[in-house]
Structure 1
Amino acid sequence: MLLEIQRKFTIFFSILSILLISPQITGRPLAVPYADAELIRRIQEIFVMDTGTAVYNITSLDEIVLCPGPNDGETYCREVISHSAKMKTIRSEQFDEFKDDFKDDLLPVEEVIASRMDIEEPVVETTCTSKSTLIYPESAQSKDGKWLLVVQQEDFKQGVLIEECASETTKCKQQFSYRNMVVLVGGDLKKEMVKLPSACECSLCAIEAQHG
């Protein structure tokens, strides 16, 4: 089974290497549908890929991340193609060092908002509608714009609580923060800071309040 997976990845990367003539795009997806139709057909024979699949880290064949579905403007992927196969390459003893990091955020939404407001700067009241969700991202964007594989296995999961704007407008702006997560890099586990949605801020509320 493992040999079959390795064979598929070898074929896939050989095909995808043809696409690397494109200039490097930091933190932005290469839209697979715009590539040569024949190449897409051959790739789809190996992996089940939606026409909206986004390809990240295109300048490094060993670190390519494939996110199915639309992902514009997001900094994480809930699912990554062949993520489970890559997780199976992790040696069991590698988890020991990070066992305390595999847990879920369990703070109630009210408590999370209260802790975020516990700062010295003036708090701006928000009228923007947002939604808090516990997610298990399989990939997320690092500080330098690189997409990393987040470690998620059956017995080793990292659930993170995020807050996203119901709809982003000129008034309501999505805010992000960085947090440590255990990721797989070059076959080894390590902690990296990744960018995740943390709040929906009303950028005009303070001005509106001043003018009644």
Structure 2
Amino acid sequence: MGFNNFRSSNERHIRFTPESDKIIFPTEKPSEPEINYTPELAPGCYNSTFCEYVPNYPKEYVKHTIKNMEDLKYLSFVDESPEISQRIDLPEDDSLCTVDSTVIFPKSARNKQNEWLFIINENSFLQGVRIERCVAENTSCKLIEGFAEGYMTSCRQKFIYRQLAAITTNGTVGPDWFSFPSSCCCHVKFNGNPLQRIASARMSINNNNNN
């Protein structure tokens, strides 16, 4: 019997199913609804690599899996929250890019094969991933002093792969690697005249030698 079918199979009389009015005889078993193991993406997740809300999340299947797979508990984890890290770590210099740091509990995510899979995440089994996102990606970095002439800066989102327990498209459960936003870095690119760049480098060397 399927994980999400809890109806009794020992019925003693003829009845009709509400879905199709098909007659069910005492010797027959009601048909079991099939589970769709492919996540449906909410509109807010189209441009992301993970989703915390999934309309068709197989909650009962997940609960059954957590209960019956003892070894699964070794994959449960929750990253340290940004607030705790800030209290423990030494004071940091201002970041060149404004970021938003938080711990998320994804219900689906995109793996290395670019497939969206369900992630095991319920009250009795949590997988909390700390992420860091650019608040204003592709905008100029925050620089205290003017940058060298001919160079342009921009904030770029960086990603990292994390291993989480997931449900494959055929219903099996196991670890897989998923992409999550990990940091926002300042990217520097030279857009000026190459000769000007060489001249600036020589001038810098001469100044260092004179000092």
Structure 1 length normalisation: TM-score? Answer: 0.57
Pick the aligned partner of 1:196 from 180, 183, 198.
Answer: 180
**Residue 178, structure 1, aligned to residue 152, structure 2:** no
In 1: Cα distance, 2:88 partner to 2:190 partner: 22
Q: CA deviation at 1:91?
A: 5.9
The CA deviation string for residues 109-155 of structure 1, in whole angstroms up to 9 with x for no partner, is 459999xxxxxxxxxx9511001100000011100100111101111
Output the amino acid matched with 2:183: A
Contact 1:90 1:188 in 2 (8 A): no
Deviation by residue 1:54-73 (Cα, 9 ceiling, x = unmatched): xxxxxxx9432112232232
Residue matched to 2:54: 80
CA deviation profile, 1:66-87 (whole Å, cap 9, x unmatched): 1223223210001111312442
Alignment correspondent of 1:133: 102
Which amino acid is 2:167 matched to? Answer: L
Q: Supply the RMSD in Å over aligned alpha carbons.
A: 3.7
- Name the residue aligned to 1:156: 125
Aligned letter for 2:186? C
Decide which structure has the larger Cα Rg and report it.
2
Higher normalized helix content (fraction of residues)? 1
TM-score by length of 2: 0.57
> Percent identity of the aligned residues?
25
Structure 2: distance between partners of 1:174 and 1:112:
25
Q: Is the 8 A contact 2:66 2:72 kept in 1?
A: no
Instruction: Give matches, 1:105-120, under 5 Å.
Output: 105-106=79-80, 108-109=84-85
Q: 1:92 aligns with which of 49, 64, 67?
A: 67
Deviation at 1:102, TM superposition (A): 1.1
Distance 1:112 1:74 in 2: 30
- Structure 1: where are the runs of 5+ without partners? 11-60, 115-124
Give the whole-Å Cα distance in 1 for the aligned partners of 2:87 and 2:41.
Answer: 32
The letter for the 1-side match of 2:78 is D
Within a 5 Å distance, the mapping from 1:10-29 to structure 2 comes to: none
Report if the CA contact (8 A) 1:90-1:187 is conserved. no
Letter in 2 for 1:93: N
Check conservation: 1:77, 1:140, Cα contact below 8 A: yes
Question: Which contiguous aligned blocks of 4+ residues in structure 1 show a shift greater than 3 angstroms?
Answer: 1-5, 107-114
Gaps of 5+ in 2: 8-18, 20-34, 140-153, 192-199, 202-211
Is the CA contact (8 Å cut-off) linking 1:126 and 1:205 kept in structure 2?
Answer: no
Whether the aligned pair in 1 keeps the contact of 2:38 and 2:118 (CA below 8 Å) is no
Native 8 Å contact 2:42 2:53 kept in 1:
yes
Question: Is the CA contact 2:37–2:167 (under 8 Å) kept in the aligned structure 1?
Answer: no
